[in-house]
Structure 1
Amino acid sequence: MLVFAEVARFGSLAGAAQALGWTQPAVAQHVRRLERDTGCTLVVRTSRGVTLTEAGHSLAAHAEAITARLRAARADLSALTDLRAGRVRLSAFPSACATFVPAAIALLWERAPGLDVRLTEAEPDEARRLLAAGDADLAVTFDYDNVPDASTQTARIKLFDDTMLLVVPPAHRLAARSDIDLAAATDQRWIAGCPRCRAHLTAAAAGCGFLPDIRHSTDDYVVTQTLVAAGLGIALLPALALEAARDPRVETVELHRHTPRRVSLTSPPDIPPSPATRALTSALVEITAPRRMRTLPG
Structure 2
Amino acid sequence: MLNLVHLKVLAAVARHGSVTGAAKELHYSQPSVSHHLSRLEAATGVRLVQRVGRGIRLTPEGRLLANRAAEILGRVDAATTELAAQVGLQSGRVRLAANASTLSTIVPRAALSLAQAYPGLELSLFERHPVEALEMLRLGEIDVALVFRHADDPIGDEEFRLLHIGNDSIYLISQRPNDTLANHRHSAWIGGCDRCQAELNAVCQHHGFTPRIASHSDDMVVVQAFVAAGIGVSTLPGYALQAHRHPGIHATELTGFERQIHAATYGDPPDPPAVAAVLAALAEAASQCREANDRVADLDKQT
Residues 146 and 200 of structure 1 are in contact (CA less than 8 Å); yes or no, is this contact kept in structure 2?
A: no
Residue of structure 2 aligned with 1:135, choices 132, 136, 141: 141
Distance in 1 between the 2:103 and 2:198 partners? 22
* TM-score normalised by the chain length of structure 1: 0.66
Hey, what does 2:261 align to over in structure 1?
Answer: 263
Residues 190 and 216 of structure 2 are in contact (CA less than 8 Å); yes or no, is this contact kept in structure 1?
A: yes
Residue of structure 2 aligned with 1:277, choices 275, 278, 296: 275
* Equivalent residues in 2 for 1:65-84, closer than 5 Å: 77-81=84-88, 83-84=89-90
* Equivalent residues in 2 for 1:205-216, closer than 5 Å: 205-216=204-215
CA RMSD of aligned residues (A): 2.4
Distance verdict in 2 for CA 1:141–1:213, change over 3 Å: same
Hey, what does 1:108 align to over in structure 2?
Answer: 114
Distance verdict in 2 for CA 1:74–1:131, change over 3 Å: closer
Matching residue's letter, 2:162:
R
Distance in 2 between the 1:106 and 1:206 partners? 40
Q: Which has the larger radius of gyration?
A: 1
Hey, what does 1:55 align to over in structure 2?
Answer: none
Distance verdict in 2 for CA 1:112–1:183, change over 3 Å: same
Residues 168 and 290 of structure 2 are in contact (CA less than 8 Å); yes or no, is this contact kept in structure 1?
A: no
Matching residue's letter, 1:177:
N
Residue of structure 2 aligned with 1:118, choices 99, 116, 124: 124
Distance in 1 between the 2:246 and 2:81 partners? 54
Encode CA deviations 1:86-116: one digit per residue, 9 max, x unaligned.
Answer: 2211111111121121121121121111112
Distance in 2 between the 1:240 and 1:101 partners? 11
Distance in 1 between the 2:141 and 2:167 partners? 27
* Equivalent residues in 2 for 1:231-270, closer than 5 Å: 231-255=230-254, 257-270=255-268
Distance verdict in 2 for CA 1:188–1:85, change over 3 Å: same
Residue of structure 2 aligned with 1:158, choices 164, 180, 197: 164
Residues 145 and 259 of structure 1 are in contact (CA less than 8 Å); yes or no, is this contact kept in structure 2?
A: no
Aligned-pair CA distance for 1:254: 2.5
Distance in 1 between the 2:267 and 2:185 partners? 41
* Equivalent residues in 2 for 1:172-211, closer than 5 Å: 175-177=176-178, 180=180, 182-211=181-210
Q: Which runs of 5+ in 2 are unaligned?
A: 1-79, 295-303
Aligned-pair CA distance for 1:250: 1.1
Aligned residues: 215
Residues 97 and 146 of structure 2 are in contact (CA less than 8 Å); yes or no, is this contact kept in structure 1?
A: yes
Distance verdict in 2 for CA 1:209–1:147, change over 3 Å: farther
Encode CA deviations 1:154-210: one digit per residue, 9 max, x unaligned.
Answer: 1111111111111112xxxxx1335x4x34421211001221110011122222221
Distance in 1 between the 2:239 and 2:293 partners? 13
Percent identity over paired residues: 34
Distance in 2 between the 1:144 and 1:187 partners? 26
Distance in 1 between the 2:102 and 2:113 partners? 16
**Partner SS state of residue 242, structure 1:** helix
Aligned-pair CA distance for 1:271: 5.9
Distance verdict in 2 for CA 1:77–1:274, change over 3 Å: closer
Deviates more, 1:88-97 or 1:150-159: 150-159
Distance verdict in 2 for CA 1:74–1:126, change over 3 Å: closer
**Partner SS state of residue 257, structure 2:** coil
